[in-house]
Structure 1
Amino acid sequence: MAKFILVTNCCPPAKRKCLHVALEQAALKGHMQIVRLLVRHGGDIDRSDEFLDPPIFAAIRGRCMPVIQYFVSFGANMEVRNKRGWTPLMLAARIGGEKMVDCLLNAGADVHATATGEKTAWSIAYERGHKAICKRISDAMGRNLDK
């Protein structure tokens, strides 16, 4: 599919949409080679639209640490929002991925960001019973009191 998208001669808006869908699916499934190929050929790691979340959310849902780390190293926006108004850190906190949370915190994710209903990554982790993640976020809050 990725090769087809890259060689197809279609209008730029349609090609961007196809790249976004393919990148989202590759990120979800952890297909690192395809993710790299699509990004190299114009796949936008921060793009979202009315139907799809930014690709980092797919990588988090798929618990694909190598893809998450790749997006982070490539400069993914840590404050990008999904359709629910959540940041990547909020989704990782909900899922309970300690390594994902650590990676996002180390990349500078805002621990004070709020979503609809004034939820933070900490409150989302607390609701789900993820005590270790609550601790990590609390520790990061202490380091980021200036925000």
Structure 2
Amino acid sequence: MKPVSVLGHSMSPEALVVGKINHHSIELSWGSGEKEHRGPTESWTRFSVEQMDPKTHTYGTIYVGYSTQYVVEGLQPSTLYKFRLRSTKSNGQCCLCPALSVSTTREPLSGKHLHQAVNRNDEEALNKVLQSGSVNVNVCDKMGFTPLMVAAQKGYGRLVHKLVEHGADIHMKNGSGKDCLMLACFAGHLDIVKYLRECGATWQSQDMGGCSPLHWAADGGHLPVIDYMIQDGCELDVRDTVSHWTPLMRVSAMSGNAAVASLLIRARADVNVRDKNGKTPLMVAVLNNHEELVQLLLDNGADHLVKNEFGSGAAEMAKAFGRQNIIHLLEGRKFL
């Protein structure tokens, strides 16, 4: 079919030709019928590339100029597009070439697809990406998490196995220094914790603040994970590098979880350990009004007479913050 002018007269053909195509762009070109531009611009043939809107089936202009090629960008992958070319001579005579339909290619597999598969717990999609061999299994998302970290945190055990089998690095850390073992410990996924240990993950790992997997397990409050860590020989009184808190101290400061503290104490965690300011778990529990934990610590040998570097002990702290319930506890033991 020849292009037809708006006046109904046949004109020299100006057909659209498809060049390079990828998942987000299509290269279009056309023969101008002129070897070179001569004379003033006003005498040149002007071209307009028009693209059809699939919703309204109307055409909109996306390029106007004197060039003989144009690259349409910002397109969606695996999508059909329709274009046509409008030629306008210097005398105003205009013609349209027949519409051309062309589809973009499928988007190549990338780290985005790998993370999408993990976040959806889609083992089939994960296998497809991994088997392509074109994606780095340790690629990080915008939060600095590898696919293995995400799977470990979410508890997707089958995906964790699959990622490790394809070379995922169990020792990689995110921006705050957490590795997949810490994330699994905090989230309470015992099966994943055990598997990562079998693969060589270590209890000695520390994040940017010096917290170990046991610190994070204590924060998470998952007793089966903590019990396994203790049985596996995890160090109980490991200190962070910021406040010199042990996991027991973090329980005193954060959750006040007496069940977690009891498990640590039964395993012989030091109830009188001191942080960098000389505070003990008992003092910290008093300051955070964790009454049940205060009782537990006292019952297990916490020294109420110990003072911090400013000369204050548990009793003074309880009075200073008006912790009447704890003051009564201490008075009942004749500590005041």
Offset at residue 70 of structure 1 (A): 0.8
Distance, in Å, in 2 between the alignment partners of 1:43 and 1:120 is 30
Number of residue pairs the alignment of both structures matches: 139
Distance, in Å, in 1 between the alignment partners of 2:327 and 2:204 is 36
2:251 pairs, out of 48, 59, 63, with 59
More strand, by proportion: 2
| SS of equivalent residue, structure 2 residue 279 | coil
Distance, in Å, in 2 between the alignment partners of 1:136 and 1:65 is 16
Q: What's the C-alpha RMSD, in Å, of the aligned pairs?
A: 2.2
Offset at residue 139 of structure 1 (A): 3.2
Q: How do 1:79-98 residues align onto structure 2 when only pairs under 5 Å count?
A: 79-98=272-291
1:17 pairs, out of 188, 204, 219, with 204
Distance, in Å, in 2 between the alignment partners of 1:99 and 1:44 is 25
Q: Which has the higher contact order (CA 8 A, sep 6+)?
A: 1
1:29–1:64 contact (8 Å) kept in structure 2: no
Write out per-residue CA displacement over residues 34-60 of structure 1, whole angstroms, 9 at most, x where no aligned residue.
Answer: 111111112121222434511101222
Distance, in Å, in 2 between the alignment partners of 1:49 and 1:6 is 21
Identify the residue that residue 108 of structure 1 maps to in structure 2: 301
2:316 pairs, out of 117, 120, 123, with 123
Q: What TM-score comes out, normalization by structure 2 length?
A: 0.38
Distance, in Å, in 2 between the alignment partners of 1:141 and 1:76 is 26
Give structure 1 stretches of 5+ with no counterpart: none
| SS of equivalent residue, structure 1 residue 79 | coil
1:122–1:138 contact (8 Å) kept in structure 2: no
Offset at residue 141 of structure 1 (A): 4.4
Give structure 2 stretches of 5+ with no counterpart: 1-180, 182-192
Distance, in Å, in 1 between the alignment partners of 2:197 and 2:334 is 43
| SS of equivalent residue, structure 1 residue 17 | coil
1:79–1:88 contact (8 Å) kept in structure 2: yes
Identify the residue that residue 38 of structure 1 maps to in structure 2: 229
Moved over 6 A (4+): none
Write out per-residue CA displacement over residues 108-139 of structure 1, whole angstroms, 9 at most, x where no aligned residue.
Answer: 11010011100101111112210121121233
Which sits farther off after the overlay, 53-62 or 102-111? 53-62
Distance, in Å, in 1 between the alignment partners of 2:241 and 2:320 is 27
More helix, by proportion: 1
| SS of equivalent residue, structure 1 residue 18 | coil
In the alignment, residue 312 of structure 2 is paired with which amino acid?
A: K
Q: 1:124 to 1:136 in 2, by over 3 A?
A: same
Offset at residue 96 of structure 1 (A): 0.6
In the alignment, residue 259 of structure 2 is paired with which amino acid?
A: P
Identify the residue that residue 105 of structure 2 maps to in structure 1: none
Offset at residue 75 of structure 1 (A): 1.9
1:6–1:41 contact (8 Å) kept in structure 2: no
